[in-house]
Amino acid sequence: MSGPASGSGIALALAVLEEVARGGPTLSANRIAQLLGMPRASAYRLINSLTSDEYLLRHPTLDGFVLGVRVVELAHLIAPRTADPTPEIIAALRERTGEAVHFVRYPGGRVVIVDEDPDLPLLSIDRTRRQLGATAIGRLLLAEFPPLEATVDPVAARVVADSARASGISIDERLRIASEIERLGYAWCTEPGAVARACIAVPVRSPEGELVAAVVLSTVGAERDRVARHLGALLDASAELAHRAYAVDPQRG
């Protein structure tokens, strides 16, 4: 057997922490066991141990976990001394538009909700992470890895393909989504119904052009024009984030 499940106890513990960091608080112990290919009983014992030692913390209302205080302390010891400009930029965008603004990252072909607007939360974090074709956030990720095309990150492409297949998205649909986003430069989605929403997700790219994050704006009501009028502000915020948060480290050249 290969992969985390065949590793040492330390490797397994680190793999669990990595899955929690990527997956967020909706990732249950059972799902962690599935992702790592571990027997459920072994995963539960390891997760209980990490929780007891304060490397993990059970979320108070959801089924999953968040990283514990000892991981946070370790991160602070090795974190860059320059402040992350992301919270400031997202807060300014919320004030400028008066609408709900979210910020997400895309590590390893997954959706990680970094900053969810508390005034108008996402309809479902789990659906946002797993049903990629159903939201503007997920559609950006689908478009980053068009099927049948070569990629510099085959592991992330496989994660995206598995998520698309699991939620019933055909290859033709993925190609259509990728073509639309290439033409527009952003993803959009409307959801009619009793809790109608319109949403735009603008990509934030690394200096190498890779999709690393997205600035997302959501409005009440399914009128595309209402959300599209804020596109300029979203593009400005995306450019500022790319410049201030993801610019090339001058120490590395």
- Asked if residue 44 belongs to a domain, the reply is yes
If asked whether residues 34 and 97 sit together in one domain, one would say no
- Residue 15: strand, helix, or coil: helix
If asked whether residues 241 and 139 sit together in one domain, one would say yes
If asked whether residues 137 and 242 sit together in one domain, one would say yes
State the pLDDT confidence band at 78, using cuts at 50, 70 and 90: low
Q: Of 149-158, 200-209, 217-226, 244-253, which gets the smallest average pLDDT?
A: 244-253
Model confidence, pTM: 0.69
How far is the CA of 1 from the CAs of 12, 29, 108, 159, 179, in angstroms?
14, 21, 22, 20, 39
- Asked if residue 253 belongs to a domain, the reply is no
- Asked if residue 4 belongs to a domain, the reply is no
Q: How far apart are CA 126 and CA 122, in angstroms?
A: 10
Per-residue pLDDT reduced to its tens digit, 126-135? 888 889 999 9
pLDDT of 151: 86
Q: How far apart are CA 217 and CA 94, in angstroms?
A: 9
- Asked if residue 205 belongs to a domain, the reply is yes
- Asked if residue 227 belongs to a domain, the reply is yes
pLDDT over 60 at 3, yes or no? no
> Judging by DSSP bridges, how do beta strands 211-220 and 187-191 pair with one another?
unpaired
The H or E element containing residue 67 is strand 65-67
pLDDT over 60 at 249, yes or no? no
CA 3 to chain centre: 23
pLDDT of 19: 85
- Which of 54, 76, 98 marks a domain boundary? 76
User: Cβ distance 105 to 117 under 8 Å?
Assistant: no
If asked whether residues 100 and 164 sit together in one domain, one would say yes
How far is the CA of 159 from the CAs of 78, 130, 185, in angstroms?
28, 11, 23
Q: What is the 8-class DSSP label of residue 251?
A: T
If asked whether residues 61 and 118 sit together in one domain, one would say no
Residues 238-249 have a mean pLDDT of 81
If asked whether residues 90 and 186 sit together in one domain, one would say yes
> Judging by DSSP bridges, how do beta strands 211-220 and 197-205 pair with one another?
antiparallel
> Helix and strand tally (H, E) in the chain?
11, 7
Side chain identity at residue 212, one-letter code: V
- Asked if residue 252 belongs to a domain, the reply is no
Q: How far apart are CA 96 and CA 121, in angstroms?
A: 18
Residues 48-53 have a mean pLDDT of 89
Q: How far apart are CA 58 and CA 20, in angstroms?
A: 11
pLDDT over 80 at 17, yes or no? yes
If asked whether residues 158 and 93 sit together in one domain, one would say yes
If asked whether residues 156 and 242 sit together in one domain, one would say yes
pLDDT of 1: 43
pLDDT over 50 at 250, yes or no? no
pLDDT of 212: 93
Which domain range does residue 16 map to? 9-76
Neighbours of 97 (CB within 10 A): 17
pLDDT over 60 at 244, yes or no? yes
- Alpha-helical runs (H) found in the chain: 9-23, 29-36, 40-52, 69-78, 86-97, 125-130, 136-144, 154-166, 171-184, 224-228, 231-244
**Number of folded domains in the chain?**
2
CA 183 to chain centre: 23
If asked whether residues 66 and 96 sit together in one domain, one would say no
Residues 206-218 have a mean pLDDT of 93
Q: What is the 8-class DSSP label of residue 210?
A: -
CATH classification at residue 216: 3.30.450.40
pLDDT over 80 at 62, yes or no? no
Per-residue pLDDT reduced to its tens digit, 94-115? 999 999 999 999 988 888 888 8
Q: How far apart are CA 17 and CA 115, in angstroms?
A: 20
Structure-token match 């690394």, residue found: 206
> Judging by DSSP bridges, how do beta strands 112-115 and 65-67 pair with one another?
unpaired
CATH classification at residue 27: 1.10.10.10
